[in-house]
Amino acid sequence: MDLDRQVAGLLCVGFDGTSPSPEVLELIRRGVGGVILFARNLVDAEQVAALVGALKRAAGRPLLISIDQEGGRVARLRAGHGFTELPPMRRLGEAGDERLAFDLGALLGRELRAVGIDQDYAPVVDVDTNPRNPVIGDRAFSADPERVGRLGAALARGLQSAGVAACAKHFPGHGDTSQDSHLVLPRLPHPLERLRSVELPPFTALARAGVAAVMTAHVVFEPLDPVRPATLSPPVLRLLRETCGFEGACVSDDLEMGAISATVAIEEAAPGAVAAGVDQLLVCRTPALQHRAIDALRRAVEGGQLPAARLGEASRQVARLLRWAGPPAELGRVRGSLRTAEHLALVERLGEVGRAGRDPTGG
């Protein structure tokens, strides 16, 4: 494999439109490893399946198609598209039912797999410790790290049992911030002792559960690295491997988010993230930035700023993720797998647990 295609393979890109755009097709030809879908790409279930199939056929090789499908307010595929809508994960956290978490994860996985989607950027395993948090809140299971880890691991196992890679987020923890990293760069004063007791245990639980991927947070943890956000910080990302024991793929949050793009050019952010320990980079909208990221990675390798060994390690991790990439969906069978009676009954079951105030864990 030539160097340009190798570094392009580390990118997962987004695009505009409800059919493959010329820009995303050019990036696929260049070798990008994945494509992420957003609401701007979606019309209904059949169109989603057709779009995913067209992207995969254009690649002619394994191509990982990803989406954010958490439940609650962060779910790209909704009832109007023909999918089952889940409530926010806080509801599941209140129920505390591990078996239900597994079943809901499997529901998500079956519906995503039905339209050919390979990876879900879920579950959120941030610990909900700050009521003023504008970006996490009810996306989190709980303020209790043990409960977050237990339910997050169960949901991830459910997703993966249905053939869809799970991705725990946002490492090492976005739950205590009071700013939105889509817009600005949050900073937290938490020392390692606090991280070990609150933020890191859920990621350790997900690592032990075999989650396929973990996504980084664009947050500065000042005692560990006073300058760089976690996505670009070697000492922070070492915690993922050395403290949490995670062996899968480390994925960046979108490098076009304001927390990064407002202060760090893509030419610095892309190779900096990979050098810090990220394996796959999300660059979610702008074709020019996506190409610049690939060019910057290639130059960094050629110039020795990004060691060839680190590139090889990242490429191997992305290759492991690509094992989750399935074939295009069978269009005639899509609807029969969505919003089934079984799926709707599961969502109703969660509602009944909440209304009854039952807590199987006693916590």
Q: Which residues are catalytic?
A: 182, 253
Q: Quote the DSSP letter at residue 244.
A: S
> Which helix (H) or strand (E) element contains residue 193?
helix 192-194
Q: Are strands 74-75 and 69-71 parallel, antiparallel or unpaired?
A: antiparallel
Residue 90 near residue 63, CB atoms below 8 Å? no
Looking at the DSSP bridge assignments, the partners of residue 174 are: none
Determine whether 336 is exposed, middle or buried from the number of CB atoms within 10 Å of its CB (0-12, 13-18, 19+). exposed
Share of the chain residues as helix, strand and coil, in percent rounded to the nearest 5: 50, 10, 40
Residue 352 near residue 59, CB atoms below 8 Å? no
First to last CA, the chain: 53
Residue with token string 């209140």:
94
Longest CA–CA separation in the chain, Å: 62
Dihedral, CA atoms, 140, 45, 113, 153, nearest 10 degrees? 10
Separation CA 180–CA 205 (nearest Å): 26
